[in-house]
Amino acid sequence: MAVESLATEMDTAVRVVHLASSLCVKVQEKLRLPSSTNGGHVKSKDDDSPVTVADWGVQAIVSWVLAEVFGGQSLSIVAEEDTESLSKAESLGLLGAVSNAVNEALSEAPKYGLPKPDKPLGSTEILEAIGRCNSVGGPKGRHWVLDPVDGTLGFVRGDQYAVALALIENGKVLLGVLGCPNYPLKKECLSNGCNQTTTSKPAAGSVLKGCVMYAKRGTGQAWMQPLVAGGISESAATLLKVSSVDDPALATVCEPVERANSNHLFTAGLANSMGVRKQPMRVYSMVKYAAIARGDAEVFMKFAQSSYKEKIWDHAAGVVIVEEAGGVVTDAGGRDLDFSKGVYLEGLDRGIIACSGQVLHEKIIGAVYASWESSSL
């Protein structure tokens, strides 16, 4: 496939992630109001992970825009949320909140260079848009892959989260976009927050946090745009480049915040055996991939419990952005991640390792093999 034939897809994906990120910022501000009991804006899924107005709102917006631009008939979207709990009678208030958030965001769509509906979408149309994202992917054809709010726990806590959209064709990730509304300009603020939750406004024209990162397969380039209110700063894209650090002693290692999501003990032992001196940077969501792509960290390791199956929407966008920025992403056996098997990353060898370069990557793979025998995973 010619790279230029993806121009409309890339352009639309970047624009819709900007728009979706703006919805998330508004919803997160409401969740953080001291007077709010969050108005029922957060529900729990069967696995007890939270789902919010933003999760469903982003999915509705992305689905509606993609259908408008590319036609809904043959559109295949693989996404995390379904409409089951949102369709129940007791969720009427929640559905109303989702509808309000979606219509408010879509009314701004022209500012992002996107179509908007002739009149506000009704709840049936919004449920249809969310429910359209019911594809299971697979080895053939073209599939959009969406995680509307990756790191919902971080989102609810006012911390890091990401809006992640990728396009897969015949099992290969062709492009990826990550919206990271709380990603700070200063690297050190990634792990300690730097009072990000304060309500003080930055100086006019300056942006303290928030970006959209994107890359197209085969270009050798990954880009970042600042997230600005009410539109896209068209001229402000900057090239992303991974860190040149290849000495483990100088490397910063990212890992998931939640212990349930990764074996912290094993990664600590692994880092120690390689001579890593810095404390791990624990970050919610696919922002870990963003940190590698921007050169703010060198390594992201995730070793989930053997019963846990990784989902494609948690990795697709991040992987292509890191790789095009000059990094390497494989499983712990050194093999490329396989996005052709449906919703899950099947055949994953032990864990996932994303790295700023080949030299560091080879050292980590070697250390994994040396450490694995003595681990209890």
Binding positions for Mg(2+)? 80, 147, 150, 314
C-alpha–C-alpha distance, residues 38 and 294, integer Å: 33
Q: Using alpha carbons, list the distances in angstroms from residue 59 to 6, 79, 226, 270, 325.
A: 22, 8, 22, 37, 27
C-alpha–C-alpha distance, residues 368 and 87, integer Å: 46
Helix (H) or strand (E) run with residue 123 in it:
helix 123-131
If we measure between CA atoms, which residue out of 97, 123, 104, 80 comes closest to residue 19?
Answer: 104
C-alpha–C-alpha distance, residues 155 and 57, integer Å: 14
φ, ψ of residue 311 in degrees (nearest 5): -95, 145
C-alpha–C-alpha distance, residues 137 and 129, integer Å: 18
Catalytic residue among 12, 52, 152, 330: 152
> Is 152 a residue of the active site?
yes
> Is 83 a residue of the active site?
no
Helix axes 92-107, 7-31, angle to 10 degrees: 130
Burial of 376 (0-12, 13-18, 19+ CB in 10 A): exposed
Q: Using alpha carbons, list the distances in angstroms from residue 272 to 165, 278, 282.
A: 34, 10, 16
Structure tokens at 74: 């043959």
Catalytic residue among 55, 159, 296, 331: 55
Q: Annotated binding site, which residues?
A: 80, 147, 150, 314
Residues recognised as catalytic = 55, 152
